[in-house]
Each structure stands twice: as structure tokens, then as C-alpha cells.
Homo-oligomer: A and B are copies of this chain.
Amino acid sequence: MTVFDPRDRVTLADVAAHAGVSVMTVSRVVNDRPGVGEGTRVRVQGAIAALGYRPNIVARGLKARRSRTIGLIVPDVTNPYFPEIVRGAEDVAIAHGFTLLLTNVIEDVEREVAALEAFEDRRVDGVIACSPRLVSERLEELLERHHAAVIVNRRSRPDIAGSVRIDHEQGMRQLIRHLVATGCRRLGVLAGPVHSFAARERMLGIDRETREHGLDLPDERIIVSAPTVDGGEIAARALIRRDPEVDALVCFNDLVAAGALSALAELGIAVPDEVAVVGYDDIPFARMFTPPLTTIRAATYDLGRHAMTMLLERMAGRGRGVDIVLQPELVVRASTRHRLAAPSGGVISL
């Protein structure tokens, strides 16, 4: 067996020589274009198979200015919320013959910029940015350089990018209503990243809903937490130290809530009897926590599907100005007390 050197691949010219035709004819066959005689087509296909030819996407992209590649940015694959979105986006992309370039920016704004630039350099056909942390101005400047873009979980200027998002203010309001209905009055908040649009929207929901219930929510009971289990653990300890009387922890997301549950367990504080805990996202593991977590569920997989579908539309020059907003639902589990008052429309789940 001869050694296969990947450096010298089979090219169109090789196939053409083998089949005794010109490169153009082979190109036509490869791309299923008309204008090739049936006999010739069969002969060329034989040569392609015999030599194991595969088109060089790089070369094709240089000329055709399309790479059939889409760039997808997520803040952190390690947060189970995002892989769901990836799956949704991926399924649609693959069904349309596109390849995904997935980049994980570990909640780092600099890496977000680097990723967007790397996509640009690679001439991807479009980009989807999930929960970007970049300030809008800089983000739009970078997205504008792309053929098409969609932002997930954030509003955007429709001429620059489409937007697919969840109504986080409403989600948070449902959570607060539920806490109030189950008797919580002295809420503590483990807020998310300052530059997160979702975090600001959720905070808005908390503010408005607590205000409507006449509850007091002083700044001392709001702590910024890294959006991770460790972040939640640290923030929960800090908050309990500041105010041992809180009767509920409202967490930015389920990871933060997981950290809070750990901290409370170690501090010997009973959940939900002494302190209720609520998360956000309903990651697949939220129902496995100790105790299972009350949280907000959105159709995450669909979020990814919608985003990719919208991107493909925009790449085709259609669908500008169409935004998608999904409504989330409350999922009540054991990390909050049973309802004292009458239910108000939330879904009760395992």
C-alpha cells in the first residue's frame, strides 16, 4: 500500500485528465449543472469515484464568495442552556447543506470580538451571536461587516441583524409572582453579567413586579454573580452574610441557582422552608437538583431553529424586519413552597 499524502489531493484537473475531458466539464458534473452529455456525465462520475475526488471548498469559496459555512457564537458551551440552542441551529443548518463554525467565547468580550473577526476572515456566509456581552455599538459595527446576522436573546437594529429572543421580563415576573404567592417577602437577587441584555431584562422584570406588589428591594439584597455554579455559590454566601433574613433567592440562571443550593446546603439552611430558590432557563438538569428547581422554561431548541431559519432567510435577502419573541413558562418544583394563594396560570411540573 502506498503512503497517502494529504498534501497532494485529487483536483478537478486530475479528474479531467482521467476522464479525458476539460476541467469545466468536470466542474459542471460536480455541481450538477446542465450542459453535459449523458455519456460524458457517466464517464466523469466514474473518474470522480475512481480517484476519490472531493471538491476543495476553500478554492471554491475564493471564487464563488460563498463558503456554505455559518459562524455561531455562544458564551459558554459548558452551560447546558446553550448546547440546546446549538442543536436547534445545527439541525436546520445541516438540513440546508451548511456547516457550522461553533465558537465558545467563555463569557469574554475580547474573545467575542476575536471570534467575530475570525468569522469575517473566513468569509462565513452568516453569523448567529447568542447572548452577546459586547456593547451594542461595537457589536453592530462587527455584525455589519457580515453578509447576514442574527442575534439570539437580544434586541437589535433590524437592518443589521435579526433578533430571536425570549420575553425575559415576563418570565421574571412570573417567577416573582409565584414567590409572592407562596409567601416570600424579603427577596435576594443573584443578578447576572452587567453587560448581558438578558440580565438587564430580567432585572427589569424583578423591579417592576416587586414594585407592583409593594415589596422593598434595596440594593444590598442585589448581588452580581458570575453566571456559573461557582459564581452562584460565592454570591449566595455573600448575600446570606449581608442579610440572613432573606426568604428567597432569585437567581440569574439555573447554574447560579445550583451554586446557591450548594451554598445553602452547606450553611444548613433548608430549601424551601427557610429560603426558596428560583432559577431561570430550565436546563435539563434542573429537575435533578436537590431539591428540584423551580425555574422558567423556554423552548431553547426552537430558539436555535428559529435563529438559523431567520439567518438563512436574511442570507437570501428576505425577512428583514421580522423579529421573533418567544414566551417562557413557569415550572414549579420543590425549591419553592407550595402555593398559599390561588394559582395564576403557571404550569405545574414534576
Q: In the assembled complex, which residues on chain B have CB atoms less than 8 Å from the CB atom of A100?
A: 102-103
Task: Name the contact of A101 in the complex, choosing from B101, B145, B287 (C-beta under 8 A).
Answer: B101
Most chain B Cβ neighbours within 10 Å, of A80, A287, A291: A80
B144 touches A4 (CB 8 A): yes
Residue A231 lies at the interface, judged by CB distance under 8 Å to chain B? no
Interface of A is mostly: mixed
Say which one of A15-23, A59-67, A170-178, A237-245 lies at the interface with B.
Answer: A59-67
Q: In the assembled complex, which residues on chain B have CB atoms less than 8 Å from the CB atom of A4?
A: 144-145
Residue A136 lies at the interface, judged by CB distance under 8 Å to chain B? no
Task: Name the contact of A78 in the complex, choosing from B7, B57, B84 (C-beta under 8 A).
Answer: B84
A258 touches B288 (CB 8 A): yes
Residue A292 lies at the interface, judged by CB distance under 8 Å to chain B? yes
| A83-B78 contact in complex given A7-B147, A147-B6, A291-B290, C-beta closer than 8 Å | yes
A290 to B61, CA, bound (A): 51
Task: Name the contact of A290 in the complex, choosing from B58, B117, B290 (C-beta under 8 A).
Answer: B290
B80 touches A104 (CB 8 A): no
Q: In the assembled complex, which residues on chain B have CB atoms less than 8 Å from the CB atom of A55?
A: 121
A59 touches B62 (CB 8 A): yes
A104 touches B86 (CB 8 A): yes
Task: Name the contact of A122 in the complex, choosing from B58, B103, B145, B262 (C-beta under 8 A).
Answer: B58
A117 touches B54 (CB 8 A): yes
Closest B residue to A145 using CB positions: B6
A285 to B86, CA, bound (A): 20
